[in-house]
Amino acid sequence: MSRRTALEASHAVAEAVRMADVDVIAAYPITPQTHIPERLAEMVADGELTAAYIPVESEHSALSTCLGSVAVGARTFTATAGQGLELMHEVVYVASSMRYPVVMAVCNRALSAPLSVWGDHSDAMAVRDTSWIQVFCQNGQEAFDLTLWAFRVGEDSKVLFPVMVHLDGFTLSHVTEPVILPEQSEVDRFLPIFQYPFALNPDKPMTHGAFGPPEIYSETKLAQEVAFRNSKEVILRGWKEFGDIFGRYYHPVEEYKTGNAETLLLTMGAYTETAKIVIDERRDKGEAIGLISLRLWRPFPFEEFRRTVKGAKLLIAFDRCVSFGMGGPVFSEIRSALYDEEPRPKVVSIIGGLGGRDMSEEDFDYVIDRGKEIAKKGPDRMLETVGIR
């Protein structure tokens, strides 16, 4: 019998890791991720989870240790945030190009300098190109569900890519929410045992990580991109299977009241739930407005995204990150994704919610109104922002 309980989102992630019967956890504490490794260490200490908890001495070593454990076929998990994700940056690329399916929760945190332990998406945006399957969570249930799903997809023999599960630092990681926890038997039905096809073993010696001379490097990258894009099939199948067993279906692009919407607001992550309240209020007043959110960030859901925005005249992209000298990163990508579409909505960018700055309903009201203004009269300043003095 599944049960509904109150869990801090970090603990929901830990619970998913426990139910997935992870073998190895190697993590380095960093605000606001700390509750995840702490809870996992507690579970191991109390025998709730049989796993090797390796208290590594840095994030670079955390992900490196994960590479070693996957290489011998162990189901592996880690978590980090902000500076930690930056410190392991080179290892992030290696994990995916060596096709090691680690699952990593990232409690999205602003990047230094100045030092900020609070949330925004700059850490996530800095790893856009790294060939990890990436999803964004909006609430505690999704934090649990998507972590579980991540193992199913990443470890699939047709995929073998690592997966990042993004949760907004503090605004999601530290809030207690109602979470429906499934039965262990349901989880076992959904998630097969990890069988890594290239496990290091003296009986069949293999070489992992040969270097790539110019005669072959390009071919390795083409092969990687093809495999990465093709992982979409298993991503979708994984969500279908998830829904069939647990009753909750996820899609690459979440659509909220988008029917006949002339204006669409695009948000990512936990702030989406606040934005939805504003959409409700405006819809009640008769405004043809809706919201979309990219649940699947990588591989980019081109098909679903283009289909979703087809009828809209205006798309307002809200970014929790500045790509310096360029603008909102999500904005840039979605505009590029729509360039060849006929017809396509006007796309405008507003940036806010940096370094833990909260977004109220009024703030989202402003974003929508200002977005419409920019669409009509054009931008009149270098950077359109909300809530920045």
Partner 1 sequence: MAEELTWKDLEVGNIITEAGNASFRKTGDWRTERPILDKEKCIKCALCWMYCPDAAIKPSEEGYYEADLHYCKGCGICASICPAEAIKMIEEEEK
Partner 2 sequence: MATKTVKLGEELVTTKEFLAEGHSFCIGCGEALAIRLAMKALGENVILAMATGCDEVTTTPLPYTSWRVPWMHTLFENTSAEISGVEAGLKILVKKGKTPERDIICVAMGGDGATSDIGLQSISGAFERGHDFIYICLDNEAYMNTGIQRSSATPYGASTTTAPAGKFSMGQVTRKKNMAAIAAAHNIPYVATACPSYHLDLMKKVRKGAEIKGPAYVHIFSPCPTGWRYKSDLAITIGQLAVQTGIFPLYEIEYGRYRLNADPPELKPIEEYLKLQGRYRHLTGEQIQEIQQMVNEDYAKLKEKVAAFPL
Where do contacts with partner 2 occur on this chain (CB under 8 A)?
23-24, 26, 50-52, 54-58, 60-62, 64-74, 76, 90-91, 94, 98, 193, 200-202, 205-213, 216, 220
The residue with tokens 């060596």 is: 98
Longest pairwise C-alpha distance within the chain: 69
Task: Find the binder of partner 1 among 160, 234, 375, 386 (CB under 8 A).
Answer: 160
Residues in the chain: 389
Residue 367 to residue 291: CA distance in whole angstroms: 12
Report whether 231 contacts 153 (CB < 8 A).
yes
Q: Hey, is 188 helix, strand or coil?
A: helix
Instruction: From the list partner 2, partner 1, none, pick the one residue 112 interacts with, judged by a Cβ distance below 5 to 8 Å according to partner type.
Output: none
Alpha-carbon span 175 to 67, nearest angstrom: 31
- Contacting residue, 90, 129, 201, 208, with partner 1 by CB under 8 A: 208
Burial of 65 (0-12, 13-18, 19+ CB in 10 A): buried
Residue 60 contacts which entry, partner 2, partner 1, none (Cβ below 5-8 A, type-dependent): partner 2
Instruction: Pick one of partner 1, partner 2, none as the site partner of residue 57 (Cβ within 5 to 8 A by kind).
Output: partner 2
- Taking the complex as a whole, the smallest distance from the CB of residue 76 to partner 1 amounts, in Å, to 15
CA distance 389 to 104: 35
| Closest distance of CB 208 from partner 2, Å | 4
Q: Is 205 in the site for partner 1 (CB under 8 A)?
A: yes
Nearer to partner 2, 90 or 129 (CB): 90
Shortest CB 67 distance to partner 1, Å: 11
- Coil vs helix vs strand at 17: helix
Give least dist CB 149 to partner 2, A.
22
Residues 211-240 that bind partner 1 (CB under 8 A): 212-213, 215-216, 219-220, 222-223, 226-227
Binding test (CB under 8 A) with partner 1, winner from 77, 100, 256, 318: 100
Relative orientation angle of helices 329-338 and 302-309, to the nearest 10 degrees = 80
Which pair of tokens denotes residue 204? 């069949």
**Residue 85, token pair as written in the block:** 């994700």
Q: What angle do CA 146, 149, 150 make, to 5 degrees?
A: 85
Please report how close the Cβ of residue 22 comes to partner 1 at its closest, in angstroms: 21
Cis peptide before 124 (omega within 30 of 0): no
Among 1, 113, 193, 210, binds partner 1 (CB under 8 A): 210
The CB-of-201 to partner 2 minimum distance in angstroms stands at 6
Residues near partner 1, by CB under 8 A: 97-100, 160, 197-198, 204-210, 212-213, 215-216, 219-220, 222-223, 226-227
